[in-house]
Structure 1
Amino acid sequence: MSAVYINSASCISAQDTLKENIFQNLVPENTVQIVKAIEPKYKEFIPAAMIRRMSKTVKMSSVASHYALQEAGISQPDAIIVGTGMGCSQDSEKFLKNVIDNHEEFLTPTFFIQSTHNTVAGQIALALQCHAYNFTYVNTSSSLEFSLLDAQLQISDGEAENILVGSTDEQTDRTMELYCLHNTIKKERDLPADYLTSTTNGVIWGEGASFFVIGKNKTENTYAKLSNIEIKNRIEINEVQDFIQDFLTRNNLQSQDIDAVILGFSGDAASDGYYNEAMKLFSESSLLYYKHLSGEFNTASGFSVFMACHILKEQKIPEVMMINSEKKEEVKNILLYNHLAGCDHSLVLLERA
C-alpha cells in the first residue's frame, strides 16, 4: 500500500490549537477531573439558526473541518471519513431524558435523528453539498486510525485523491457522572495527576475534534507522509515490544531510526505499563507524551497526530511534551503509540515529507 500525505491539520482541543504559535501556548492540566475544549466563536462559521440545533461535537467538527479544507485549498473532498468513540452523546442523552420525562409518549424525533454517530460526517457533507463516499468509524480509541487506514486504502486503490478525515468526541454531564462512578475518571483526592509515574487509577477526561486532509500528492502545505498504521484490539504487556518491533521491521526500520515516539500516557497506573515497556525500545529517540495537554478520551490520538504533524513541519519539539532530554538534529520519523485502558492498541508511522 502506497504512502499518502497529510496536507492540512486542524484541531479543537483543551489547548488553543486554532491559533498560530501553538507550541508557545501549551498549558498542561492536571488539577481537575475533566478538561473542556476551547471552543471558537461558532457564529463566525455556522448560521445562528443552525447552531442551536447542533450538538457540541457537530459544531467543533464543522469548524475544524472548515479549517482543514481551507488550509488544503480544497472545496470538495473526494470522501469524508470520521472516527468517533461516543458520537453525538449530548443528543443521545437529551432523547433518553425526553423518553423518561414524557413516559415514552409524544416524543419529537429531532434528538433521536441527531444522536446517531454518523451525524457529524453527514452534517459536514450537507454543508459542503458533497455527495461522495461518506463513512463513520466507531472503534473506541482506534476510530481515527481506522479512518486514516480507510483513506489510505481509498487513495491507493485510485478511488480518491483528497479525503477529509477527522476524529471527534464530546463530553456530556451524565456520561461524566457515570465515568466517575466507574472510576474511569480520577478521584479528586488523587489530583493533581502524575501522568508519567502514577500510582493511582483513572484519568483526566477531555474532548476535542481533529481534522486532516489526506492526499495522494505532496503539496506546498504538506505536513507529513502517512507511511503505515497497525491496530490490535488486545495485547499483553509482555507482547508490547514484539508488537512494535514487528511493525518497524515491516517498514524496514529499526528502533534507532525513529527520531521521536509519542506515547499516550494518561496517568492511569493500571494501563500505562504498556507505554513503559514501549519506551525501553527507544533509548536514542525523543520520548514524548501529550494527554496532560488534551486529556484522555476515545479519539485523543487525533491530538497526537496533529502535534506530530506540526513537529515534522516545524522541526521543533515542545519542551512541555518531552519525557527525556534526547533530541536529534532532524526529525524524520515519528511513531505514535496509543491505547485506551489497555485495549485497542494502535501504531501510526509518520515521516517528514
Structure 2
Amino acid sequence: MKKTYINGVGCISTQKTFDTVFLEEAVVNHDENVLAVIPPVYKDYISPAAIRRMAKGVKNGIVASALAMKDSNVENVDAIITGTGLGCIEDSEKFLKSILDNNEEFLTPTSFIQSTHNTVGAQIALLQQCKGYNFTYVNGAVSFESALIDAKMQIEEEEANSILVGGVDENGDYTTALFKLNGRIKKDNSGPYDVLTSATSGAVYGEGASFFVLENERKENTYAELLDVSIVNTLEENEVEDAIQSFLKSNNLEISDVDVLILGFDGNADFENYYKNLVQNSFAETPQLYYKHLSGEYDTASAFALWMASKILKTQEIPEIIKLNPVSKPSYKTILLYNQLNGKNHSFTLLTK
C-alpha cells in the first residue's frame, strides 16, 4: 500500500495565513462572536469578471487550492475532493430571499446554481481543467475528515497519485442570526469572548478554506505523512481516552509517542470536558495546542488544524499564541488532532514527520 504525503498547503482564514511564514501576524479577537476571513487579493488568482459572480466561499476555496498547488509544485492533480458543512450558504440565502421578495416570480437562476455544496470543487476543476474524480462531502463537522479518508484510500489503492483535498465554509448573515437564536453561536454583546475560560454555551464562529495536495511520494517539500483518520459519531466524555488509545494502537503507537496534541476548544462550556479530561489526565505531559480562538468554530475548522499541524512538522516550531500548556519537546514527530462539535462527530487525525 502506498503512503500518503502532504506536499502542499494553502489556507485562507480569519487570520493572515497567506504571505506569512506561520501565524506570526495572528491576533486573538476577544470582541467578536463571529469572525470574518482576512481576504487575499482575489484578482491575483481569478479574473475580475469572474470574481463578481462568486460567493466568498468559492473565492476562498479557489485561492487556497491555488496556494496549495503552487506550494507543492504540481501543475495538475488526478482528483479534487472537498468537504463542506454548509456549502455556499450566502448564495442559498440570496436565492431564498429573492423568492420571498419577488413572490416566487421572475427569479434569476444564478444564485440557485451557485448555491449547491459542490460549487467550490466544480469551480476549481474548471480553472484547472481537471476532468478527474470530483466529489464533495457534506457530513457536518466531519465533512473534511470524510474527504481525507476518501483521498487516503484512493492513494493507498493506487487509484490516484495526487489529490487536492480541502475544507471550505462561509458565514451567511441570515444563517448566523439563526445560529445565534438557537444558541450555536455565543450571544451578542456578552464579550469578552475567551475560548478557554468561557462559562457560557455557544461557540465563537468563523469561516475559512484550507486545501492540501496529497501525493503518494515523498518530496523535498513534503510537510508530513498522513498516517490515519478516524471518525466516531457519538462518544461519552469518559470514552474519548479509550477511543484515542485504540486509534493509536491500530497504528502501533501509544499515548507517550504523541509529541503534540491539537484540540478543538471552541468556547462552548457545555462540551469542553471532552477536551479537558485529556488535558488533565492522559496527555498532561504532552505539548497541547488549540486553534479555534484564531479560526473560529465552523464545520470544517479541523482543516485549519491540519494546516497548523503540517506547518509545525515542517518548521519544528510552535507559536506561543496556540499553546495550551508550557510543555515543549526538542523535536516534533507525531501529531494527533482531536475535534468534536457539540458532543457529536468526533474525529481523530494522525500525522507524522
TM-score category of the 2 structures, normalised to the smaller one: over 0.9
CA distance in 2, matches of 1:76, 1:197: 45
The DSSP-based 3-state class of the residue aligned with 1:222 is coil
Q: CA deviation at 1:193?
A: 2.2
CA distance in 2, matches of 1:2, 1:191: 49
Q: CA deviation at 1:162?
A: 0.5
1:6 aligned to 2:45? no
| 2:307 alignment partner in structure 1 | 306
| 1:345 alignment partner in structure 2 | 346
Cα pair 1:30 1:204 within 8 Å, conserved: no
CA distance in 2, matches of 1:30, 1:232: 32
| 2:169 alignment partner in structure 1 | 169
The DSSP-based 3-state class of the residue aligned with 2:196 is coil
Cα pair 2:259 2:334 within 8 Å, conserved: yes
The DSSP-based 3-state class of the residue aligned with 1:243 is helix
Q: CA deviation at 1:87?
A: 0.2
| 1:204 alignment partner in structure 2 | 204
| 1:79 alignment partner in structure 2 | 79
Q: TM-score, normalised by structure 1?
A: 0.98
| 1:153 alignment partner in structure 2 | 153
The DSSP-based 3-state class of the residue aligned with 2:24 is helix
CA distance in 2, matches of 1:21, 1:71: 12
User: What aligned pairs does 1:83-122 form with structure 2 within 5 A after superposition?
Assistant: 83-122=83-122
Aligned AA (1:337): Y
CA distance in 2, matches of 1:198, 1:120: 34
The DSSP-based 3-state class of the residue aligned with 2:23 is helix
Q: CA deviation at 1:2?
A: 4.7
The DSSP-based 3-state class of the residue aligned with 1:23 is coil
- The Cα offsets for residues 151-210 of structure 1, whole Å up to 9 and x where unpaired, read as 100011111000000110001110111111111111235311232232111111100000
The DSSP-based 3-state class of the residue aligned with 1:233 is strand
- The Cα offsets for residues 220-241 of structure 1, whole Å up to 9 and x where unpaired, read as 1111110001101111111111
The DSSP-based 3-state class of the residue aligned with 2:234 is coil
| 1:296 alignment partner in structure 2 | 297
| 1:285 alignment partner in structure 2 | 286
- The Cα offsets for residues 296-340 of structure 1, whole Å up to 9 and x where unpaired, read as 111111110001001000000111111111101110000000011
User: What aligned pairs does 1:129-278 form with structure 2 within 5 A after superposition?
Assistant: 129-278=129-278
CA distance in 1, matches of 2:243, 2:290: 20
Cα separation, partners in 2 of 1:189 and 1:106, compared to 1, 3 Å: closer
Cα pair 1:6 1:224 within 8 Å, conserved: yes
Cα pair 2:76 2:128 within 8 Å, conserved: yes
Aligned AA (2:287): S
Q: State the number of aligned residues.
A: 352
CA distance in 2, matches of 1:283, 1:207: 30
Query: Matched residues, percent identical?
Result: 51
CA distance in 2, matches of 1:197, 1:111: 40
The DSSP-based 3-state class of the residue aligned with 1:339 is strand
| 1:49 alignment partner in structure 2 | 49
- The Cα offsets for residues 32-83 of structure 1, whole Å up to 9 and x where unpaired, read as 1111010011111111111111110000011111111111111210000000
1:333 aligned to 2:337? no
Cα pair 1:259 1:333 within 8 Å, conserved: yes
Aligned AA (2:306): V
Cα pair 1:3 1:228 within 8 Å, conserved: no
**What runs of 5+ residues in structure 2 fail to find an aligned partner?**
none
Q: CA RMSD in A?
A: 1.1
Aligned AA (2:244): I
Aligned AA (1:169): D
Cα pair 1:7 1:222 within 8 Å, conserved: yes
| 1:321 alignment partner in structure 2 | 322
Aligned AA (1:170): E
Cα pair 2:16 2:23 within 8 Å, conserved: no
The DSSP-based 3-state class of the residue aligned with 1:22 is coil
Aligned AA (1:247): F
CA distance in 1, matches of 2:114, 2:198: 39
Cα pair 1:248 1:254 within 8 Å, conserved: yes
Cα pair 1:121 1:135 within 8 Å, conserved: yes
Q: TM-score, normalised by structure 2?
A: 0.98
Aligned AA (2:55): S
The DSSP-based 3-state class of the residue aligned with 1:203 is coil
Cα pair 1:87 1:116 within 8 Å, conserved: yes
Cα pair 2:9 2:210 within 8 Å, conserved: yes
Cα separation, partners in 2 of 1:248 and 1:105, compared to 1, 3 Å: same
